[in-house]
Chain A
């Protein structure tokens, strides 16, 4: 089975712009979660989707949003980018919810200048 794929792998944007990141989960997985990883804050949970519904949300401002499509693929969007949004954004998929382990993609490295 193919693993979790994320596109693009690298992205450079300027302040004020918006960005959309894409995640394709492992085939058959219905749950997708997003995380932000930075050296200072570590791994921070953004949101989790299951069957196109947002199940859980982390403590991020409304500039961060996401969605999941009927084929379980997911996108996250960040509007009005700030320098502090520079990070590695990781997507993870799991078969279901709760006790199922998550499988992570390689991440999208976003740099905001």
Chain B
């Protein structure tokens, strides 16, 4: 079955420090992986995606994510966190060859402290 897990409900980090938001997935075929961010009272905004190719994917607002097939992970990273990065982050996976549904994780709230 297709699934995605975000093991941390909340991540706290000081401004200027690197941040990591974790995501692991399970699909029977090749995964198509996405990260989205949701600010209060707003819809989701696309950050980046992995389809194929280079395992390190760069996205919007200085975010990047590393695809690790052996660990079935797709962690979101940023070298230097900003207070304005505080938001709810969602990882999502799509299994094109099987269910072809975009399934979201439960979300991780990122809190960046000044």
Given the known inter-chain contacts A45-B103, A56-B101, A98-B32, please indicate yes or no for A104 contacting B49, CB distance below 8 A. Answer: no
Chain A residue numbers with a CB within 8 Å of B43 are: 4, 90, 92, 104-107
Chain A residue numbers with a CB within 8 Å of B8 are: none
Given the known inter-chain contacts A42-B106, A90-B43, please indicate yes or no for A101 contacting B49, CB distance below 8 A. Answer: yes
Q: How far is the CA of A13 from the CA of B65 in the complex (A)?
A: 41
Given the known inter-chain contacts A98-B94, A99-B32, please indicate yes or no for A104 contacting B101, CB distance below 8 A. Answer: no
Q: Mark interface residues in B66-98 (1 if CB within 8 Å of A CB, else 0).
A: 000000000000000000000000100010100
- How many pairs, one residue from A and one from B, have CB atoms within 8 Å of each other in the complex? 50
Q: Mark interface residues in B31-53 (1 if CB within 8 Å of A CB, else 0).
A: 01010100001111110010100
Check: A86 CB closer than 8 A to any chain B CB. Answer: no
Count of chain B residues near A, Cβ 8 A: 23
Q: Chain A: which residue is nearest B94 at the CB level?
A: A98
Q: Chain A: which residue is nearest B90 at the CB level?
A: A43
Q: Chain B: which residue is nearest A98 at the CB level?
A: B96
Q: How far is the CA of A48 from the CA of B46 in the complex (A)?
A: 18
Q: Chain B: which residue is nearest A42 at the CB level?
A: B106
Q: How far is the CA of A97 from the CA of B51 in the complex (A)?
A: 13
Interface on chain A toward B: helix, strand, loop, or mixed SS? strand
Chain B residue numbers with a CB within 8 Å of A35 are: 104
Given the known inter-chain contacts A43-B90, A55-B100, please indicate yes or no for A103 contacting B46, CB distance below 8 A. Answer: yes
Check: B102 CB closer than 8 A to any chain A CB. Answer: yes
Chain A residue numbers with a CB within 8 Å of B34 are: 101
A10 to chain B, nearest CB (A): 11
Q: How far is the CA of A56 from the CA of B32 in the complex (A)?
A: 17
Please give the residue numbers on chain B whose beta carbons come within 8 Å of chain A beta carbons, in ascending order.
Answer: 32, 34, 36, 41-46, 49, 51, 90, 94, 96, 99-107
Please give the residue numbers on chain A whose beta carbons come within 8 Å of chain B beta carbons, in ascending order.
Answer: 4, 33, 35, 42-43, 45, 48, 55-56, 58, 90, 92, 97-99, 101-107
Known A-B contacts: A92-B43, A98-B32. Give 15 more (CB < 8 A). Answer: A42-B106, A43-B107, A45-B103, A45-B104, A92-B44, A98-B94, A101-B34, A102-B102, A103-B46, A104-B36, A104-B43, A104-B44, A105-B43, A106-B41, A106-B43
